[in-house]
Amino acid sequence: MKHWVKATMVALSVVLAACGGKQEAEPAKAAAEPQVYRMGVNAAFAPFESVGADGKLQGFEIELAQAVADAAGIKVEMSNTPWEGIFNGLANGDSDFLMSAITITEQRKETMDFTEPYFEATQLVVLPKGKQIANAEALKGMKVSVLTGSTGDTIAQKLLGATSTDIKRFESLELALKELENGGVQASIGDNGVVANFIKYNGADKLDIVEGIDFDKEYYGMAVRKGDQALLDKLNAGIRKVKEDGTFKSIHDKYFGQS
44-87 residue pLDDT tens: 999 999 999 999 999 999 999 999 999 999 999 999 999 989 99
Task: Report whether 155 contacts 122 (CB < 8 A).
Answer: no
Q: What is the rounded distance in angstroms from the CA atom of residue 19 to the CA atom of residue 70? A: 47
pLDDT digits (tens, 9 = 90+) for 208-250: 999 889 899 999 999 999 999 999 999 999 999 999 999 999 9
Task: Note if the bond before 34 is cis, omega within 30 degrees.
Answer: no
Q: Are 171 and 146 in contact (CB under 8 A)?
A: no
The closest of 109, 39, 116, 111 to 80, measured between CA atoms, is 39
Is residue 16's pLDDT more than 50?
Answer: no
CA 18 to chain centre: 62
Note whether 115 and 235 are within 8 A (CB).
yes
* Cα 170 to Cα 46: distance, rounded to the nearest angstrom: 15
Measured between alpha carbons, how far is 235 from 192 in angstroms, rounded to an integer?
25
Q: How far is CA 208 from the centre of its chain?
A: 28
Q: Residues for the chain: how many in total? A: 259
Count of CA atoms in the C-beta half-sphere (13 A) of 141 = 3
Q: Are 237 and 72 in contact (CB under 8 A)?
A: yes
Structural domains in the chain, sorted by start: 36-118+221-257 (3.40.190.10), 121-217 (3.40.190.10)
Three-state DSSP class for 169? strand
Rg of the chain taking only CA atoms, in angstroms? 29
The region, left, alpha or beta by phi > 0 then psi within -120 to 50, assigned to residue 2 is alpha
- Within 10 A of 154 (CB to CB), how many other CB atoms are there? 17
8 Å CB contact between 37 and 77:
yes
Residue 45's nearest CA partner among 168, 194, 195 is 194
**pLDDT tens-place string over residues 112-126:** 999 999 999 999 999
> pLDDT band at 31, cuts 50/70/90?
low
202 pLDDT band (50/70/90 cuts)? Answer: confident
How many angstroms separate the CA atoms of 254 and 110, rounded?
34
Answer with the residue of higher pLDDT: 259 or 1: 259
Residue 203's contacts (CB-CB under 8 Å, 6 or more residues apart) are 177, 181
